[in-house]
Each structure stands twice: as structure tokens, then as C-alpha cells.
């Protein structure tokens, strides 16, 4: 009886050791997209009123966890019974990400009329509605990125048994959410931390006050930088998806460095997506008027 109990413990220890080893492999494989996920979500979680930053971030975090609860069983089932569906989902997700990245660039060059309206919104109900819309948008983008992270982690462990795959991929999914949104929370609260340091310092010339002012003054530049990095991240992630899942692109621009190649392919895909979307909107507008 006792020997059987210790045998079970030994099996559990071996399993956990295998999961730890496989998690390291999966973490290395997903490190790039986790960085992209951080940049994208930090950009999306910024720009809210100070009192709303943490509630909004918590809402996005809960949405991200729900995304992973939905994605994990579906990916395991599709991987077992319909592997082609995973590739199709990845390509559709890549199209969405490339569209969002290229659309941001398009909007910077040709600002949308509604962008100006958003900047002048002062009504509390409109602000809350805008906040809700942005949270939904962030959760949807997180769904696409989470799908990519989970599939990459699964592919990194495809040679292991099902139990190892489930434990390893689930571990990566949870750590990705906690890690990414934990860092995002630190970024968006930089200014509050700075104000706290300044308030608690005895002198304006103290090291604490100087560091607090650095945090306060640096936040707008960090957010602007993350907006740029987040847009680039959307395009590089989508380019990576296209390269690995669309056969005729495997050797396209292969003389270029990897990141530049992914960026250009993602941008080209995004430009096509934006053009087709605008054509669709014009056709829809004509049909509505007629």
C-alpha cells in the first residue's frame, strides 16, 4: 500500500519534471509573440482616465483568461481530429491582425472623421461607451494572439503525450496572461507611482522626487513608443503567420532578415485587407443609398 503510494508520487514527480522541461521549450518558442502581445496590449490598455486604468485592465485580463479557457479545448480537439482547421484559423487571425496594423497606419496618414469626434468626447456616457468598445476590441485582439501562442506552444510539444501537452500548454497560457498583463499594469501606472514618490519626498531636489518626475514625464513617450511598437507587432505577428502557413510565401523575400521579412509581408497583407475593406464599405454605402 505504502509502496504504491510512493510509486504514484514518483510518477507525479516525473510528470512535473517533464512538464517543466517542455514548458521551457515552449516558452522559448513563444517568447517573440509574447513580446508582441505585451506591446499590443500595453498600447490598447493605455489612454484611459487614471481612475479607470486598473478596472479596464482587469476587464481585459478576465477577457484574456476566458479567451484561453475557450481556445485550449478547441485547439486540442482540432489538433486531434481536424488539424487543417488550425491552419485556417491562424490565417484568418493573421488577416485580422495585418488589417488592424495597416489600418492604424492608414488612419495616421488619413485620419478618420470619427477619430476627431472621439478626441472631443466629454459626455460621461459616451466615454464609458468608448471604454467598453475599446475593451471589447482589446479582448478580440487578445483572442487572436492567444490562439497563436497556444498553437505554437502545442506544436513545440507535439512529440509528447496528450497529458504533457495539456499541462504544458495550459501552464504557458496562464503564465502568458499573468506576465503580460502584470507588466502592462506596471506601465500604465507609471505616472501614479511617480506622483506618489514626489508626494512622499522631503525635497524637490531629492533622488526620490527626481525619479518620480522621470516616471511622470516618461509615460507619454512610453505610450507613444508602445503605440508604434504595437502596430509593428501586429504586422510582424501576422507576417509570421502568413510565412509559416501559406506555402507559396515560404520563399518570398527570403534574402531579407527574418523580422523585416515578416513586417513587410504583414504590411502587404494588411494593405490588401484595408483596400478590400474600403471597397466593401463603398459598395455597401452605394447599396444603402440606392
Other C-beta atoms lying within 10 Å of the C-beta of residue 29: 17
Provide the terminal-to-terminal Cα distance of the chain, rounded to the nearest Å: 81
Rounded CA gap, 220 and 75, in Å?
A: 39
pLDDT of 78 above 60: yes
Tell the residue number behind the cell numbers 490598447, with chain if given: 44
Does residue 104 contact residue 43 with C-beta atoms inside 8 Å? no
The Cα diameter of the chain in Å comes to 82
The mean per-residue pLDDT over the stretch 112-140 comes to: 66
Q: Judging by beta carbons within 10 Å of its beta carbon (0-12, 13-18, 19+), is residue 193 exposed, middle or buried?
A: middle
Q: DSSP letter at 94?
A: H
pLDDT of 48 above 70: no
- Model confidence, pTM: 0.68
253: left (phi over 0), alpha (psi -120 to 50) or beta: left
- Residue ranges of domains in the chain: 2-289
pLDDT of 3 above 80: no
Rounded CA gap, 67 and 59, in Å?
A: 12
pLDDT digits 0-9 by tens, 204-218: 777 777 788 887 788
The mean per-residue pLDDT over the stretch 240-261 comes to: 83
Q: How confident is the model at residue 230 (pLDDT cuts 50, 70, 90)?
A: confident
The pLDDT, as a whole number, for residue 122 is: 57
The pLDDT, as a whole number, for residue 1 is: 46
Rounded CA gap, 166 and 110, in Å?
A: 46
Q: How confident is the model at residue 39 (pLDDT cuts 50, 70, 90)?
A: low
pLDDT of 266 above 80: yes
Amino acid at each position: 500500500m505504502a509502496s504504491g503510494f510512493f510509486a504514484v508520487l514518483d510518477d507525479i514527480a516525473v510528470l512535473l519534471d517533464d512538464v517543466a522541461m517542455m514548458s521551457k521549450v515552449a516558452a522559448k518558442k513563444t517568447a517573440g509573440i509574447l513580446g508582441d502581445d505585451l506591446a499590443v496590449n500595453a498600447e490598447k490598455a493605455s489612454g484611459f482616465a487614471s481612475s479607470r486604468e486598473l478596472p479596464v485592465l482587469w476587464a481585459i485580463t478576465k477577457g484574456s483568461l476566458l479567451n484561453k479557457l475557450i481556445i485550449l479545448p478547441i485547439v486540442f480537439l482540432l489538433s486531434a481530429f481536424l488539424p487543417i482547421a488550425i491552419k485556417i484559423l491562424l490565417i484568418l487571425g493573421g488577416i485580422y491582425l495585418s488589417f488592424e496594423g495597416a489600418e492604424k497606419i492608414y488612419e495616421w496618414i488619413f485620419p478618420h472623421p470619427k477619430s476627431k469626434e472621439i478626441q472631443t468626447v466629454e459626455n460621461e456616457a459616451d466615454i464609458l461607451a468608448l471604454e467598453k468598445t475599446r475593451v471589447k476590441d482589446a479582448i478580440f485582439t487578445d483572442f487572436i494572439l492567444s490562439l497563436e501562442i497556444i498553437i505554437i506552444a502545442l506544436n513545440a510539444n507535439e512529440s509528447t503525450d496528450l497529458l504533457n501537452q495539456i499541462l504544458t500548454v495550459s501552464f504557458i497560457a496562464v503564465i502568458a496572461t499573468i506576465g503580460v498583463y502584470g507588466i502592462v499594469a506596471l506601465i500604465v501606472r507609471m505616472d501614479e507611482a511617480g506622483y506618489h514618490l514626489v508626494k512622499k519626498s522631503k525635497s524637490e531636489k531629492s533622488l526620490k522626487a527626481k525619479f518620480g518626475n522621470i516616471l511622470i514625464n516618461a509615460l507619454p513617450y512610453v505610450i507613444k513608443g508602445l503605440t508604434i511598437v504595437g502596430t509593428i507587432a501586429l504586422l510582424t505577428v501576422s507576417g509570421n503567420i502568413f510565412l509559416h502557413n501559406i506555402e507559396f510565401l515560404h520563399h518570398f523575400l527570403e534574402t531579407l532578415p527574418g523580422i523585416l521579412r515578416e513586417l513587410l509581408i504583414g504590411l502587404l497583407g494588411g494593405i490588401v485587407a484595408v483596400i478590400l475593406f474600403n471597397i466593401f464599405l463603398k459598395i455597401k454605402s452605394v447599396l444603402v443609398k440606392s
